[in-house]
Structure 1
Amino acid sequence: MTSSDAPPRVIRLLPARFTRDPKAAKGGENRAAVLLLLSTVVAILWANSPWAESYWSLLDTHVGITFGAHHFELTVKHLINDGLMTFFFFIVGLEVTREFAIGELTDRGRAAVPVVAAIAGLAIPAAIFLVLNPTGENAQAWGVVISTDTAFLVGALAIIKPKFPARVRIFLLTLAVVDDVGALGVIALFYSESIQVLPLVISAALIGAMALVRFMPVARGPAYAILGFALWVALFLAGIHPTLAGVALALLIPVFTPERRQVERTVELIRAFRQSPNSEYARAATRGLRESISINERLQTDVGPYVSFVVLPLFALVNAGVRLDADSVQAALRSPLTWGVVAGLVVGKFVGITGATWLMRRTGMGQLAPGLGLRRIAGGAALSGIGFTISLFIVDIAISEPMRQDQARIGVLIASVLAFALGWAVFRLTDRFNPPDPVGLKLLRPIDADRDHIRGNPDAPLTLVEYGDYECPFCSRATGAIDEVRAHLGDRLVYVWRHFPLERAHPRAFDAARASEAAALQGKFFEMGRELFAHQDDLEWSDMYRYAVAIGCDIDQFDQDVRVHSSRVLHRVQDDAQDAELMDLNSTPTFFVNGKRHKGPWDAASLIRALEAGR
């Protein structure tokens, strides 16, 4: 870490619009959910109004393109369901891929639970449906109850607003992707009249080509777009639901955390542009900024809003229109087909997902993230009974008689309303009588001047605690921001460093933390930290002994503390790391501002604003 006697600097705080606001992001999600619900209501009212004929005519309107002698066309309904919804499955796939690669689900024990729960959520509903409809033509419609509607599931969760929904949402998105892939597989195997072999082979070749795009030096974005569209066409011609192309493409796009060398190179380009503004430096800096962030994250940011505010409302508009005249409703209420759909979606999803989660935890084969108990899973399992997209799609291909089609559609509608009500009740009762713990939102262990590594006034009214890793490039860069914050706030601030070595990504970080604790026994903790950050690529023990000499440590004593009395330094590192694990931290640096976890950027201006706002 840098020296504490740096000259004071006056910091000009950035306007709030230049910082990432979690409340604004949440507000956008809520607005998207409201728009989705409004589109659903409009579709139902339109389909049962005096102008209903215009609704059905719109859905059956053909849209196509002609190129020479070739002609390709789809109805408006299929264009949205099979075309635009591919982007939705693509975004969901990107988010879950990121969580598996560098996020919450890197722990395979946690990832196993939603995967197994999704499989149970496919099988149990089908079994319940077949109990009520064991034979005859109705039995062919068992696929109607297997799939959760991901779009409405996410929207319902945003409308209900349970406390601390982030982990529930990640669990349900993971479950929904597995559910979608399984349901699309069922359509391909059981509800496709004929699979065309040649387009299927071409689809496999295209998937192989997409897996190789990451090795291209340039133009990866256009390559993914072209191959993704070609895969969609190939799957469509093969007789397989083409939205599977969105999931396949998302799973093949690489995910990575920003690399230090790329970030440093971009900083140098920006500095060069500042000194000599010209188009060459501008293009290079723009390209560097873009390439320092993985294409997965860039696509989520660029495409996500269009999916939320355009694709999903259009999808609801063309799918939620169900005829609800008196004759149709009365026939549906007497039909085992209707109640088979209701029982399969509402009871089957709830029992299958909740039961599988309980079994995985009970047997020790999987685990849930901290703060994500079985009661929270039960609420999400109830909402998983909302079925629209694939349920209504299978109604059209599994049932030929229009009257029975209406009965099945009414069953899907009733099930979705009941599932939403049940999910709302579970979350509300849970939040009221057994609220979840706010894991990681507050500092678990208070600052202790006798134990913690402190810079500044121990009695200061403002506190900044960092959980960091000496091999993390962003912890290294954050030290400059921290020095600016300390210079700006002076004696009003106390800064604390705590260890959180991420050994999976940074194999030398734990040893570096031990070395810093050995130096701390000689009063050289922050001096050793400065050396470790300055030489992050050279953290072998021979290097760290050299750094200890450079900062004036008694090398014999340092060696004794590291090797002979290792428990004295080991426990300090382990205690901090265990605190971080109990708070379920998963990245460095993580800051706690005045005892509360800081969300958003950690540049000096953002940290100062957060410290003074939360005073």
Structure 2
Amino acid sequence: MARRERYFTKLFNDFFHSEKASGIILMGCTLFSLVVVNSAWGEGYLHLWEHPLGTNTVEYWINDGLMTIFFLLVGLELEREVYIGELSHVKQAMLPLIAALGGMLVPAGIHFVFNRGLPSQDGAGIPMATDIAFALAALSLLGNRVPVSLKIFLTALAVIDDLGAILVIALFYTDSLQWTNLLIALSVFGVLLIFNRIKVRNLIPYLAGGVVMWYFMLHSGIHATISGVLLAFAIPFGNGDEKSTSYILQHFLHRPVAFVIVPLFALANTCVIIQPTWVDNLVSANSLGIMFGLVAGKPIGIFLFAYAAVQLKLSHLPGDLQWKQIFGAGMLGGIGFTMSIFITLLAFETGGFIDDSKIAIMLSSIVAGTLGFFWLKASLPKTLAGE
């Protein structure tokens, strides 16, 4: 246990608590957006996000610009996990890694079964994602009954899940490539890696290079947010202490991302006009694929793959956890929201599919979060050992 406590650092505490608060704010933003867009002010509210800003709309710059910073933070968190966190030792890393793989493949497979051969088939990536903020916010409601190892497992699971979503975006939601722009973006990334190698610690060259890389990635056909993850792995990690470049940037980004960028994304992308037929649309193949994928596919995939990893001796279950708690964490993994909506916007071009998907995602996330909360409330001990 002492070994695991060593990884429960100040930065992890900051991350956990900022994501917890962010989840509560996200819930408020979503409710606000849904109420306003379906009121007498709905047309003006929609126009706010569709208002031209330069060559594109406000919504576009949030999704393709500000969300790159969100992915930069995800990359920095993943980098920390790989170097000194849950993913730094193979045995420890395999449990959340394999569990996350199951939590992506099973939901995607469920959606594919429902939608094979249909225009909505491209939405298979939608139920693969986990929303870190909402998942950790739900877990935090259980207070000090939650073991550190379960917090770390769910956090590592969600971060790996986000990486999987990023790879899915890069591989399956790229229509056409502009090779010249892509090669320029990758060349900039290469230069930043050289800066890292020669021990340039000043953030300015990395941030400036990141902007250039983002610009050319934006015009390459690959979604520009990928540049955020690449930039994260170019920034020097050092020994990961409070003086390291990676730590300084990650610590700085926590609050702007949690309290500004992700809430703005929620406000701009939950402007769903509830049609009279919305209930009927819930039984469409796409909606059923999303709902069954998130609510059932996520916990089943996470649990079965984690169980297989332990049985095959690829990893081990932490001593203070039980399998029913892993299943409960898998239920919270079914809270898709931010990343699921993000993939929806890439998967579909028609408003009908997009709006129906958003409604299915929001309802599924509510159900998954509620079930996960009550499941863990029943399965966690009343007090932790040693208290």
> Considering the TM-score relative to the shorter chain, is it more than 0.5?
yes
Residue deviations 1:523-581 (CA, integer Å, cap 9, x gap): xxxxxxxxxxxxxxxxxxxxxxxxxxxxxxxxxxxxxxxxxxxxxxxxxxxxxxxxxxx
Question: Could you tell me whether the CA contact under 8 Å between 2:33 and 2:270 is conserved in 1?
Answer: yes
Question: Could you tell me whether the CA contact under 8 Å between 1:371 and 1:437 is conserved in 2?
Answer: no
For residue 149 of structure 2, the aligned residue among 156, 159, 167 is 167
In structure 2, the partner of 1:242 is 224
The 1:422/1:225 distance shift into structure 2, 3 A limit, reads same
> Could you tell me how far apart the structure 1 residues matched to 2:64 and 2:247 are?
24
Question: Could you tell me whether the CA contact under 8 Å between 1:146 and 1:183 is conserved in 2?
Answer: yes
In structure 2, the partner of 1:351 is 300
In structure 1, the partner of 2:265 is 315
1:196 aligns with 2:178: yes
In structure 1, the partner of 2:333 is 384
In structure 2, the partner of 1:133 is 115
Cα offset, 1:129, TM superposition: 1.2
Letter in 1 for 2:373: W
Structure 2, gaps ≥5 residues long: 1-9
The 1:24/1:364 distance shift into structure 2, 3 A limit, reads closer
> Could you tell me how far apart the structure 1 residues matched to 2:141 and 2:51 are?
33
Question: Could you tell me whether the CA contact under 8 Å between 1:96 and 1:173 is conserved in 2?
Answer: no
The 1:172/1:216 distance shift into structure 2, 3 A limit, reads same
Give matches, 1:327-476, under 5 Å: 327=277, 329-431=278-380, 434=381, 437-438=384-385, 442=386
Is the partner of 2:56 in helix, strand or coil?
strand
Residue deviations 1:503-538 (CA, integer Å, cap 9, x gap): xxxxxxxxxxxxxxxxxxxxxxxxxxxxxxxxxxxx
The 1:101/1:44 distance shift into structure 2, 3 A limit, reads same
Question: Could you tell me whether the CA contact under 8 Å between 2:340 and 2:361 is conserved in 1?
Answer: yes
Question: Could you tell me whether the CA contact under 8 Å between 1:36 and 1:155 is conserved in 2?
Answer: no
In structure 1, the partner of 2:44 is 54
Is the partner of 2:53 in helix, strand or coil?
strand
In structure 1, the partner of 2:82 is 100
Count of residue pairs the alignment pairs up:
378
> Could you tell me how far apart the structure 2 residues matched to 1:384 and 1:213 are?
37
> Could you tell me how far apart the structure 1 residues matched to 2:20 and 2:338 are?
21
Cα offset, 1:48, TM superposition: 1.5
More helix by share: 2
Letter in 2 for 1:367: H
Is the partner of 1:299 in helix, strand or coil?
helix
> Could you tell me how far apart the structure 2 residues matched to 1:296 and 1:24 are?
15
Question: Could you tell me whether the CA contact under 8 Å between 2:15 and 2:254 is conserved in 1?
Answer: no
Is the partner of 2:87 in helix, strand or coil?
helix
Higher radius of gyration, 1 or 2? 1
1:40 aligns with 2:33: no
Structure 1, gaps ≥5 residues long: 1-19, 65-72, 260-291, 443-595, 597-615
Question: Could you tell me whether the CA contact under 8 Å between 2:170 and 2:226 is conserved in 1?
Answer: no
> Could you tell me how far apart the structure 1 residues matched to 2:273 and 2:369 are?
20
> Could you tell me how far apart the structure 1 residues matched to 2:63 and 2:108 are?
23
In structure 2, the partner of 1:214 is 196
For residue 300 of structure 1, the aligned residue among 232, 250, 275 is 250
The 1:239/1:181 distance shift into structure 2, 3 A limit, reads farther
> Could you tell me how far apart the structure 2 residues matched to 1:374 and 1:75 are?
47
In structure 1, the partner of 2:234 is 252
The 1:54/1:170 distance shift into structure 2, 3 A limit, reads farther
Cα offset, 1:316, TM superposition: 1.8
TM-score when normalising by structure 2:
0.87
Cα offset, 1:210, TM superposition: 1.9
> Could you tell me how far apart the structure 2 residues matched to 1:45 and 1:320 are?
10
Residue deviations 1:186-245 (CA, integer Å, cap 9, x gap): 233332221111122122222222222224455631111112222222221111122222
Letter in 2 for 1:61: H
Letter in 2 for 1:167: S
1:74 aligns with 2:56: yes
Identity of paired residues, percent? 34
| Greater relative contact order, per chain length (Cα 8 Å cut-off, separation 6+) | 2
> Could you tell me how far apart the structure 1 residues matched to 2:117 and 2:144 are?
41
TM-score when normalising by structure 1:
0.57
> Could you tell me how far apart the structure 2 residues matched to 1:92 and 1:184 are?
10
> Could you tell me how far apart the structure 2 residues matched to 1:402 and 1:25 are?
35
1:118 aligns with 2:100: yes
Is the partner of 1:106 in helix, strand or coil?
coil
Letter in 2 for 1:181: L
Question: Could you tell me whether the CA contact under 8 Å between 1:121 and 1:352 is conserved in 2?
Answer: yes
Structure 1 vs Structure 2 CA RMSD = 2.8
More strand by share: 1
Is the partner of 1:324 in helix, strand or coil?
coil
Question: Could you tell me whether the CA contact under 8 Å between 1:92 and 1:173 is conserved in 2?
Answer: no
> Could you tell me how far apart the structure 1 residues matched to 2:296 and 2:311 are?
22
